[in-house]
Structure 1
Amino acid sequence: MTRHTPARSLEGVPFTTVATGKIRRHANPLKMLSPANVRDMARVPLGVVQARKAVAGFRPDVVLATGGYVAVPAGLAARMARVPLVLHEQTVRLGLANRKLAGSAARIAVSSESTLPLLPESVRPAAVVTGNPVRPEVLTGHPDKAVTALGLHAFDRRLPTVYVTGGAQGAQQINDVVGGELPWLLERANVVHQCGPAHVAALSARAAGLPAALAARYHLTPFVGPELPDVLALADVVVSRSGAGTLAELTALGKPAVFVPLASAAGNEQAHNARHLEESGAAVALLGDVGGGRLRGAVGPLLDDPARREAMAAAARAHGRPDAAEGLVDVILSAATR
């Protein structure tokens, strides 16, 4: 939300944009006084005024804020208008925006039990664990539909299948390390590799040198669309980033995962997410520099030992909350009727 415009409609839902500003954090506090930060912070008071006007006009029974700098003006406007505020935190640790708004919240919905002791004591009574909502269709996939949709008939179904993804645009780090280990990986598994449009050419060149028997087990695609639920159903192991949405989906499905967190994520949240699951045996977290040896050390035992995969799947499933959307709705409604 970068500028204020009149109320509009997106897919039938009216919305109003307001000004806001982002804090670009740095280990050196002096570097936080950058021209971009100063400029953005000057936009926040304008955004609060705009949000306060929107709240006054719409007269909501409750305001839901899901964190990030875009939530700050609306959250402050809710406090000014004495409208109940519900915060939803998707990551293990509260982000900066939600930490600043927590004292004003009627309820704080968090994604994990481990988040509760990290909250300030003064706001813990308002907290409830709901998990992160997962798209219902993600839970309804079927392996055979993935084989048909992607033409994976040459896959050796006696072997486990690895789904590699770096998100819609792909992840250079993941693509490089997986691309370098393709011969080793394909001797042990089938691989569906969603690499992002910008990385197809380089990975296709790598795959061109594979023996035919191994190449038949490798499916490279720039993106995975509506067939994603079926690809996840087919996957025995997932190699991916560790954003909140990814964790919610993989734990709801009970999928063993090897996470390569995005180092530049705000507040290092992806590393915290990955460590949280690793500590309970629900995933493997590869932090810092990740080379082929570390990838083999993480993925190899899962591919070679079905019992180890099943144990990790059970641990992941224990963290999953497929009913998180319903739980969050209950929290919102309870705040609205207080």
Structure 2
Amino acid sequence: MSTEPSPQNPAALSAVFAGGGTAGHISPMIAIADALLERLPGARVTMVGTPSGMETRLVPAAGYELKTIDRVPMPRRPSADLVRLPGRFARAVRQAEAILDEADADVLVGVGGYVCTPMYAAARRRGVPIVIHEANAKPGLANRVGSALGGSVAVAFASTPLRGAAHVGMPMRRAVSELDRAAARDGAREALGVPGDAPLVVVTGGSSGAASINGAVGRFVAGGGLAGTGVRILHITGRGKTVTGPDGAPLAGEGYVQREYVDGMELAYAAADLVVARSGAGTVCELAATGTPALLVPLPHGNGEQALNAADLVRAGGAILTEDSDFTEGLIRSTVLPLVQDPAALARMSEAASRVGVRDADRRMADRAIAAASNRKDA
């Protein structure tokens, strides 16, 4: 990939990408950058984050150099930090301007996170076009600011309330967006240690796991809930998390396999007949893009964005939503087991999910960035 200025092509498009904090921001940013370089192999890409986010690990791992500016969170109550906010923000904007100047930026692509607000302000001051991708159904503060500053906005969910936004879907890795579940099923099950044709439920609470989901599944299995059903559960418990049985040893039982982590969720989507998961934006969009039926259990705290993330997919019939407090051994018995043993219902859900899923959001966003940059060059 070309990420540095080329003496042979000094006029190559220069795109600056800003985002960070969580994988939910960083993964789409990397997917868009990859797609832009696929479209324009001679383009120059500059990635910007803060020194303390996951971008410090994920961006270099993807093959890009990361530049950083100060992290300037908004204090939630009166404090000394609130008094210092204007000075800190001004310093971060100056740092952002220096990065845009050094890159001779033709476009700024922002995906959210603390880094984006000063980057948007700097781009506005420098006359650099702003292209925004909002991953959540409830837009974050930085992207609301970017929109107010005149950024061109695209969203992962059609229901996201940002005025004038285009619905493009969620940029994601090609291994997921181009997945053929049926063709990959057998190989994925072998790789995950759950071979065979038995109905399979994949349960995941994300890379860190979900204590309430882990607990309900653990109690269900320990109580003999799978015995004689012919159903299997692959339980992805989260890094450092182990579900134990009554004897304190790692839980084991008929049809039950637990793993802390799966390297590549495309394997889980291909192997599963039904996925039980939180409804983070990335997970919801990947389930839709791959046509994977799901039961979604939003986080019970925070600003309610996970329930909103799930709304479009649930409305379409591609997923079922249940509150965290309702996800119990009884619900697994009454809802999960009958559903995973109903091929016709699963097929309807898969078709419904595929209808709302978007597989080319990375390329759509790359094209928006290229168009914005081209318009500036032609002006």
Output the TM-score relative to the length of structure 1.
0.83
Aligned CA distance change for structure 1 residues 297 and 90 (closer, same or farther; 3 Å): farther
CA distance in 2, matches of 1:230, 1:43: 44
* Letter aligned with residue 319 of structure 1: V
Aligned CA distance change for structure 1 residues 105 and 160 (closer, same or farther; 3 Å): farther
1:66 aligns with 2:111: yes
Residue of structure 2 in register with 1:282 after alignment: 318
1:13 CA drift (Å): 2.6
Q: Secondary structure at the match of 1:200?
A: coil
Output the TM-score relative to the length of structure 2.
0.74
* Letter aligned with residue 77 of structure 1: A
* Letter aligned with residue 278 of structure 1: V
- Select the residue among 208, 212, 231 that pairs with 1:173: 212
1:48 CA drift (Å): 1.2
1:184 aligns with 2:225: yes
CA distance in 2, matches of 1:67, 1:260: 24
CA distance in 1, matches of 2:189, 2:249: 20
Aligned CA distance change for structure 1 residues 300 and 144 (closer, same or farther; 3 Å): closer
Residue of structure 2 in register with 1:111 after alignment: 156
1:247 CA drift (Å): 1.3
Residue of structure 2 in register with 1:18 after alignment: 69
Aligned CA distance change for structure 1 residues 145 and 304 (closer, same or farther; 3 Å): closer
* Letter aligned with residue 160 of structure 1: P
* Letter aligned with residue 213 of structure 2: I
Aligned CA distance change for structure 1 residues 209 and 282 (closer, same or farther; 3 Å): closer
Map Cα deviations across residues 56-104 of structure 1 (whole Å, 9 max, x no partner).
2211110000012221111111111110000001112322211121022
1:298 CA drift (Å): 4.0
Map Cα deviations across residues 189-213 of structure 1 (whole Å, 9 max, x no partner).
2111110233215269578776xxx
1:232 CA drift (Å): 1.4
Aligned CA distance change for structure 1 residues 172 and 36 (closer, same or farther; 3 Å): farther
- Select the residue among 155, 172, 175 that pairs with 1:137: 175
The correspondence of residues 214-229 of structure 1 with structure 2, limited to 5 A, is: 215-226=253-264, 228-229=265-266
Residue of structure 1 in register with 2:237 after alignment: 195
CA distance in 2, matches of 1:246, 1:225: 15
Structure 2 portions without partners, runs of 5+? 1-48, 53-58
- Select the residue among 96, 121, 124 that pairs with 1:76: 121
Q: Secondary structure at the match of 2:287?
A: helix
Map Cα deviations across residues 274-329 of structure 1 (whole Å, 9 max, x no partner).
23322222211222523413444442442242222121111111111111111111
CA distance in 2, matches of 1:197, 1:268: 25
CA distance in 2, matches of 1:188, 1:207: 24
Judging by fraction of residues, say which structure has more helix: 1
CA distance in 1, matches of 2:257, 2:309: 28
Aligned CA distance change for structure 1 residues 195 and 22 (closer, same or farther; 3 Å): same
CA distance in 2, matches of 1:204, 1:328: 50
Q: Is the 8 A contact 2:135 2:170 kept in 1?
A: yes
Residue of structure 1 in register with 2:273 after alignment: 236
1:177 CA drift (Å): 1.4
1:239 CA drift (Å): 0.6
- Select the residue among 125, 129, 151 that pairs with 2:193: 151
Q: Secondary structure at the match of 1:43?
A: helix
CA distance in 2, matches of 1:69, 1:111: 19
1:44 CA drift (Å): 2.5
Q: Is the 8 A contact 1:143 1:231 kept in 2?
A: no
CA distance in 2, matches of 1:264, 1:329: 34
Aligned CA distance change for structure 1 residues 144 and 220 (closer, same or farther; 3 Å): same
Matched-pair identity in %: 35
* Letter aligned with residue 19 of structure 1: D
CA distance in 2, matches of 1:171, 1:100: 32
Let me know the Cα RMSD of the aligned residues: 2.7
Residue of structure 2 in register with 1:28 after alignment: none
Aligned CA distance change for structure 1 residues 197 and 91 (closer, same or farther; 3 Å): closer
Q: Is the 8 A contact 1:286 1:294 kept in 2?
A: no
What is the count of residue pairs matched by the alignment?
Answer: 312
